[in-house]
Amino acid sequence: MATTEEIQSGLAEILEEVAGVLPADATPEKSFTEDLDVDSLSMVEIATAVEDKFGVAIPDDELANIRTVGDAASFIEKNQS
Amino acid sequence: MSDIVVTGLGATTPLGGDVASSWAALLEGRSGIGLLTEDWAAQMPARVIGRLAVEPGEHIDRVQARRLDRCQQIALIAAREAWADAGSPQVDPERLAVVVGTGVGGALTMLAQDDVLEKTGPGRVSPLTIPMLMPNGSAATIGLELQARAGVHTPVSACAAGSEGIALGMDIIRAGRADVVVAGGAEACIHPLPMAGFSRMRALSTRNDDPEQASRPFDKGRDGFVLGEGAGLVVLERAEFARARGARIYAVLAGTGVSNDSFDMVQPHPEGCFAALAIRLALRNAGIQSADIGHVNAHATATPVGDLTEAGAILSAIGDGAAVSATKSMTGHMLGASGAVEAIFTILALRDQIVPGTLNATDLDDDPRVQALDIVRGAPRKATLRAAVNDSFGFGGHNVALVFTAA
């Protein structure tokens, strides 16, 4: 089980790799599309990377509800086994 | 009718990461040909290739690069160079178009994602697969960067695609659709599948023991082409537009000619008559006599049949008075980029009044058509050039000729 801090830092790593977001910018309140310039295709890549890193699959209908970095972190935290 | 002028050049080739280094290497007679080093090479009958001299990752941001196929990356690199070289023209985006020809587009992405599909299933295939594999991806990448809104096009005509891109660029300006067009071609498909496919056609040189000698246009010992990769883009402008903004003019794109053999899917017509037709049409379009052509940058891939029919076509349409270069002897065959890169070499030949040499044509074919041509072998030759031709031919029967005149 990843801790909240591990999830946050893991998401920041994924965002840097996929979309070139600086880790300091990947804070929980940031919107992927509006603040971090992450497009819908990159969101799909991020979902795949989350599954690889945390073993948590994000179904497509859930992905649409994930707007901020914090939303993603909460989803991972709730659904990790 | 308006003149169309060339105001910017950009390229990345097996000879160099930009136009200046590629042209310098060409005039020095350096070969860009080497051996495959990948693990899969061992089982390939042909292991000789023209790999890019500079990896695209050195010129493109990592995050952007991972969203672009290699072909799109190098098209963008060449377009940026050409655009900057033209002085980044201030043009209404609705008067700016892009044309980038290609043979196969994002083949490396398609093949890599097919591996992902086979190994791990559809859920792991990249969401970027489609934009990276589509043949129009290179043109669209450049269009996005330059905000070109007068149309973004992709001729797909195998090894004639780069030349066809330039020909279409000229048509667009002449039709009044744009004042400026970024035009050329890009290709990057060095991979086991294309190499196996070309090998099964007996199209590739298997001179694996001596890569720099492998590409031998017009030579008796030629045994096929050497697969290369590269991109070449030029900035074309309506002459009045270029002069009004005080642009530096490299050359005039005086005419283009396009025809098709409609004879065989892959074999050229044995008489080369429709290749000659494309050259004649280009001369007529340019309003230039064949005697004025001082130089031909030939397609000359070093296949046994193609070089002979092309020699016949040049003799028939231009005669024996032009100094002929076969620069694929140094670059290999960049497929859909070759016509564009060779157009750039043709333009620079006019600018510098020098005809590049041809490597490895040490023992010319006995065919009388080859014997009759003035092939510049070995070192480049100083010349007084007023007009020059670049011709390109592709599987599917495509023939394209471009006529450039000195600025």
Residue B249: inside a domain: no
Residue B403 β-bridge partners: B255, B389
Residue B144, in any domain of the structure: yes
User: Both B152 and B286 in a single domain?
Assistant: no
- The helix-helix angle for A40-54 and A4-19 (nearest 10°) equals 140
pLDDT at residue B1, rounded to an integer: 66
| CATH number of the domain where residue B358 is located | 3.40.47.10
pLDDT under 50 in chain B at which residues? none
β-bridge partners, B183: B99, B234
Please answer yes or no on whether B124 and A41 come within 8 Å at the CB atom: no
Q: Which domains does chain A have, with CATH numbers?
A: 4-79 (1.10.1200.10)
User: Could you please report the per-residue DSSP string of B294-337?
Assistant: EEEE------HHHHHHHHHHHHHHT-S-SEEE-THHHH-B-GGG
HEC per residue, B233-275: EEEEEEHHHHHHCCCCCCEEEEEEEEEECCCCCCCCCCCCHHH
The domain tally of chain B equals 2
Boundaries of domain holding B126: 4-244
Q: What is the pLDDT of residues B204-232, one digit of tens each?
A: 999 999 999 999 999 999 999 999 999 99
Provide the chain A residues 21-80 that lie in CB contact (below 8 A) with chain B: 41-42, 44-45, 48
Tell me, yes or no, if A20 comes closer than 8 A to chain B by beta carbon: yes
Chosen domain end from B187, B213, B244 = B244
Which residues of chain A are within 8 Å of residue B61 when distances are taken between CB atoms?
A: 20
Q: What pLDDT, in 10s, does the model give residues B168-215?
A: 999 999 999 999 999 999 999 999 999 999 999 999 999 999 999 999
Q: Which of B219, B244, B269 is the C-terminal boundary of a domain? A: B244
B265 and B373 belong to one structural domain: yes
Catalytic residue check, B333: yes
- Beta-ladder partners of B228: B50
B128 CA to chain A: closest CA distance, Å? 7
- For chain A, say whether B137 makes contact (Cβ under 8 Å): no
The tens digit of pLDDT for each residue in A10-64 reads: 999 999 999 999 999 999 999 999 999 999 999 999 999 999 999 999 999 999 9
Point out the residue among B61, B127, B131 whose CB comes nearest to the CB of A45: B127
Give the pLDDT score at A1: 85
Residue B250 lies in a domain: no
- Single out the residue in B176, B211, B244 at which a domain terminates: B244
pLDDT range class, residue A81, cuts 50, 70, 90: confident
